[in-house]
Amino acid sequence: MPEEKQTLSDLPPALIQGLRSHDGATPMVPRSVDKAILDRAEAHFGSRRTSRRRWALPAAAAAAAVLVTVFVVQPFEPARQTHSIADDIDGSGSVDVLDAFLLARQRVDDPSITQARVDALLGRIVSLSNEEDHQT
Amino acid sequence: MRRQAAMVFLCLIANTLAYAETLSAPQTRFAAVDVYLDSGDKALAAWQFELADHDARIQVVGIESGEHPAFDEPPHYDRDAVAAGKADRVAVADFSLATAGELPKGQTRIATVHVRIEGDTPPDYHIALIAAGDTQGQPIPAKISISKR
């Protein structure tokens, strides 16, 4: 193929000059531009880090407050926590046999109170799986 | 002769192994705990207690009613947990709507708890009176105690 064997001397001088000028054109970033870009990047991401740090302290304080509330102010008492307030007949703050007793007494005058309700309350009071139900 | 000696030797080994197994197996025994409540001069209409072993080596297997006629029915407790062998402690309660004259005063046996004990060490029972009340449902000062047998 004759085209492949062509040398530079076979090409028109204008084309040779154009190709040479492209070869030598190495893009250069001036030092001042480079520094400006770095400064702006640092300013941008640096402010992000500051923003995170600003939230870190209040978040840690809130978490600590929650932990203090859970473990100190309201210590875990699995055996005495949740129970229906309706079961606390005598309003003592705890649900025990005295509430079942009073409910059974009320049942004498109030036919809407069933024996099944009294039995169910007694069942909850002595349940080993629901001992947390003893107090409101 | 050799065969007989071998048989005797094997029997000795088998006996030794069986004896060792009985030594290593945990001892199981049954016991009863009588629970008493002293309500003083107040008529006892309602009560509730909890019994446990500090080392959780007991299994409650049944509960008997008390000695007074006002509480001759079996008291309330978690029968499902007891039947399933999962009651290493128990909460027991009962009440009576009888009149004050028909209720016990002073010390009375309110229940007997039957337990199965694992191991040779005697249980370290912990009894807690949760509530005791009079005929009006008012709390009364009462003393609870147990007697092991």
| Cβ <8 Å between B48 and A105 | no
Overall number of domains in chain B: 1
| Cβ <8 Å between B133 and A129 | no
Examine the pLDDT at B23 and tell me if it is beyond 50.
yes
| Cβ <8 Å between A97 and B97 | no
| B17 within a domain of the structure (yes/no) | no
Examine the pLDDT at B141 and tell me if it is beyond 70.
yes
| Cβ <8 Å between B91 and A126 | yes
| Distance of alpha carbon A54 from alpha carbon B22, whole angstroms | 68
Instruction: Please compute the mean of the pLDDT values over residues B75-95 and round it to a whole number.
Output: 95
Instruction: Please compute the mean of the pLDDT values over residues B108-135 and round it to a whole number.
Output: 95
Residue B76, beta-bridge partner list: B93
> What is the end-to-end Cα distance of chain B in Å, rounded?
55
| B124 within a domain of the structure (yes/no) | yes
Edge-to-edge strand list for the sheet holding B58-65: B58-65, B107-118, B28-38, B143-148
| Distance of alpha carbon B93 from alpha carbon B37, whole angstroms | 12
Q: What is the pLDDT of residue A45?
A: 78
Mutate which: A95, A96, A97, vs B, most B CBs within 10 A: A97
| Cβ <8 Å between B91 and A128 | yes
Nearest to A97 among B48, B87, B97 (CB): B48
Of B90, B75, B135, which is closest to residue A119 (Cα–Cα)? B75
| B90 within a domain of the structure (yes/no) | yes
| B127 within a domain of the structure (yes/no) | yes
Measured in angstroms, the CA of A100 and the nearest CA of chain B are apart by 8
Measured in angstroms, the CA of B70 and the nearest CA of chain A are apart by 14
Question: Is A95:A83 a contact under the CB 8 Å cutoff?
Answer: yes
Q: What is the pLDDT of residue B56?
A: 81
Measured in angstroms, the CA of B7 and the nearest CA of chain A are apart by 54
Considering only alpha carbons, which residue of chain A is nearest residue B99? A105
| B20 within a domain of the structure (yes/no) | no
| B4 within a domain of the structure (yes/no) | no
Domain containing B118 equals 26-148
Nearest to B131 among A96, A104, A123 (CB): A96
| B3 within a domain of the structure (yes/no) | no
pTM of the model: 0.63
Kindly list the residues from chain B whose CB atom is less than 8 angstroms away from the CB atom of residue A134.
Answer: 130
> Is B122's Cβ below 8 Å from some Cβ in A?
no
Examine the pLDDT at A1 and tell me if it is beyond 50.
no
Give the CATH number for residue B56.
2.60.40.680
Report the share of chain B in percent with pLDDT over 70: 84
Kindly list the residues from chain B whose CB atom is less than 8 angstroms away from the CB atom of residue A97.
Answer: 46-48, 93-95, 130-131, 133
Tell me what ipTM this predicted complex has.
0.82
Q: How many CB pairs under 8 A join A and B?
A: 64
> Is B87's Cβ below 8 Å from some Cβ in A?
yes
* Phi/psi of residue B55, nearest 5 degrees: -100, 5
| B82 within a domain of the structure (yes/no) | yes
